[in-house]
Structure 1
């Protein structure tokens, strides 16, 4: 039966037959069209055929249209070409597995150029040569960029084969060298070490996007930036979200049962919920943008053939990246997704996961009441803990690619921005602020201090409708006076352009 049930000799024979057919289709098309056209002329106004597939041929090439069988020529040629490439891939993968390389079965039948063992062995040698190498006073960036480009030349099967053979220490050494960007301090300007953050992020994403699932653990072990940790989050340390009081015991990574989109290709903007991490400021920005321009958010996320997910996100310098994340998400002890989620869909969770990896404006978290407790803020970038407890103006640029606009802190200005078709987010005041002004935060059961809401609209009584990023059912309706008393820091988000 051949390699894993595929008899490439027979498949190649079938591909040859399809190519022969494609070459004969043009003459067949001409002959059939001639017969139908002559018959149509002789039938005194009656159609020569009742077939909707053959009717366009009547009068061809003068009055008719190109249709079957002529249109099959290119399709048959393309199909046989794909079959041949897949056979080359299978034969190449069989050779590599016979030589002791491990390639994920998900990649066996890819429409790729056949794998070349020499590319793999040469790159393995280059990685081993990094051990103890002295890059000199000019740094190692040029050498690392050449290595990065060689990784980029690997097909998915070649990358899998390399990952199955490369020593863990060699892969980790590559991370340690590439992740260290030393040219930002301003001193020793000639000493370019490591890859700049954006380049390194794109490199890691390119590996995750192509590798077979069985090799993701090796990438996660060597490159910590593949997977954001959660052990600095309030939910992990305290066992629950301190604002919503939702439990978070048994937190672990697992693959959700829900699809990316409940309705293929569409997002449900009304089903977005924050989950158990304290990143309302980000989820409010994401949700507000999704309400204003659902297509923009929908186009910013896609699933790859190997099961990973690409998310479009801008970095702290305003440069766009497609961050590739693995499909596993933080879950509780009952297997429920603990991070952001939707109504029967999980695309918000992957936006949040990509943001956790990319967020660069944090120095351990905003004021969260634990400033002197190293358990909460010991890591500054690349995990879920770093995206908790920050401010309204920090997240929008990562979602939209544009800095937000701070607007006057009054009801009328917020309304004007919203009615100009801009997403708007607003923050609530702290408990201490309200206490000092002798205000009662219980004016609405869904009001939460030190929280971020997004503007959904205005009701028939002229009250502002604020959506809660915790999810459906948490809307509040407020008067102009209530806005003045209980809210601040409004931000107008800029989408598109």
Structure 2
């Protein structure tokens, strides 16, 4: 999730001899990759039009599995699952299935999931949509998130991929609106190599966990119109660097859990670790590279969690930082007065107190339109990156990424320019 920023070969020859185990790291990464920099899609766990199903190493926690018990409980749960929901309520059937499966150790639950396969998982998923006499589904979205989260965190990586493939409610819908046929989902690999129990990133830093390297600089919006959400993440992480590691974690089986908020209540969204892919690059948000093998993928998982909680990627295209701040922090943002002569002072004061600030630019809904002599995009969201109180200026950061030319990466605005080009400024507590 927190893959390194630099091409690892840029420093390998210089650093390896000075780092304990450096040569072993090179050998391990070379062995893992097996080919040169020109790796194609055949080296990626990529599936056109669907989700990858790949066996990955997994050490199940708990006692060794009892195949006979797994078979007996799985068959009993299967019978309940396929009972007549018009005679027994779907909610009752779902609760009975859960009561049967929850006590199983992870290895046995994984055996049940594999044995059920497509037919059983699709049936389990369909029951969550059955409506009662009041037109309400058997499980509301929060109960579904709890159900899918428990399943995805417990089973093997392959079992999680089965769930992600055959239980549609566990994955957000992804429609690229493109007829090229080169779209699907990919499992990013990443360049991490392990030596003597420690992990090394591409730029030869030891890391104790995949979330350690999360930074607001690690952001490239990708192809979805989610600037309102992604730049709000930048604002929150810049204000509180501990926020992302506390709200995004890699589970032991490789799934990813992101904590978002609904009306102030925390909701854990657990996801299969695949991401949208197309045209030879990650379609979702990433870090400093479009290469799905080595991209910093944590922004994409934040984006995917928002798509799950909102009902699909189409549902998070376009929005306001106000709503993003509510999703990310569970707190109610406050709007600043753009016409105040003390705007810079207030912005600096709020940033000094650990608050995150984000803005929206004026426009007619097309961020290809340029403002301020080409320095800003219209109908776009930015975060307040810095404030120059003495000079009466604010600096905006762009979620489009820190490119080599830094064009449109940041923009300084005077107070008059801010009033001309901005339509909204929101601030929220992050601690």
1:337 to 282, 285, 292: 282
Report the Cα distance in structure 2 between the residues aligned to 1:432 and 1:353, rounded to whole angstroms: 23
Report the Cα distance in structure 2 between the residues aligned to 1:111 and 1:216, rounded to whole angstroms: 15
Aligned Cα root-mean-square deviation (Å): 3.0
TM-score, with length taken from structure 2: 0.71
Offset from partner CA, 1:355-390 (integer Å, 9 cap, x none): 11112xxxxxxxxxxxxxxxxxxxxx2x21211012
- Judging changes above 3 Å, is the alpha-carbon distance between structure 1 residues 181 and 303 closer, same or farther for their aligned structure 2 residues? farther
In the other structure, the counterpart of 1:274 is: 221
- Contact 1:140-1:192 at 8 Å conserved across structures: no
In the other structure, the counterpart of 1:395 is: 324
In the other structure, the counterpart of 1:152 is: 102
Offset from partner CA, 1:209-236 (integer Å, 9 cap, x none): 22223334431333112222321xxxx2
What is the CA distance between 1:398 and its match in structure 2?
1.2
- Judging changes above 3 Å, is the alpha-carbon distance between structure 1 residues 149 and 134 closer, same or farther for their aligned structure 2 residues? closer
Q: Which of the two has greater helix per residue?
A: 1
- Judging changes above 3 Å, is the alpha-carbon distance between structure 1 residues 346 and 104 closer, same or farther for their aligned structure 2 residues? closer
List runs of 5+ in structure 1 lacking aligned partners. Answer: 1-102, 183-187, 240-247, 360-380, 434-439
TM-score, with length taken from structure 1: 0.63
- Contact 2:56-2:157 at 8 Å conserved across structures: no
Report the Cα distance in structure 2 between the residues aligned to 1:345 and 1:296, rounded to whole angstroms: 17
2:140 to 196, 206, 213: 196
- Number of aligned residues: 344
Offset from partner CA, 1:382-417 (integer Å, 9 cap, x none): x21211012232211111121322232336346514
In the other structure, the counterpart of 2:315 is: 386
1:302 aligns with 2:249: yes
Offset from partner CA, 1:295-345 (integer Å, 9 cap, x none): 111221221222211212123x332122221222122332x3231112352
Report the Cα distance in structure 2 between the residues aligned to 1:454 and 1:302, rounded to whole angstroms: 24
Structure showing greater Rg: 1
- What is the correspondence of 1:333-482 to structure 2 with a 5 Å cutoff? 333-334=279-280, 336-343=281-288, 345-359=296-310, 381=311, 383-410=312-339, 412-413=342-343, 415-420=345-350, 421=353, 422-431=355-364, 441-459=370-388, 461-472=391-402, 473=406, 474-482=409-417
Of structures 1 and 2, the one scoring higher in RCO (CA 8 A, sep 6+) is: 2
Report the Cα distance in structure 1 between the residues aligned to 2:187 and 2:237, rounded to whole angstroms: 24
Q: Which of the two has greater strand per residue?
A: 2
Report the Cα distance in structure 1 between the residues aligned to 2:376 and 2:103, rounded to whole angstroms: 53
- Contact 1:300-1:311 at 8 Å conserved across structures: yes
- Contact 2:348-2:387 at 8 Å conserved across structures: no
- Judging changes above 3 Å, is the alpha-carbon distance between structure 1 residues 249 and 389 closer, same or farther for their aligned structure 2 residues? farther
List runs of 5+ in structure 2 lacking aligned partners. Answer: 1-53, 193-200, 289-294
1:487 aligns with 2:416: no
2:120 to 139, 154, 170: 170
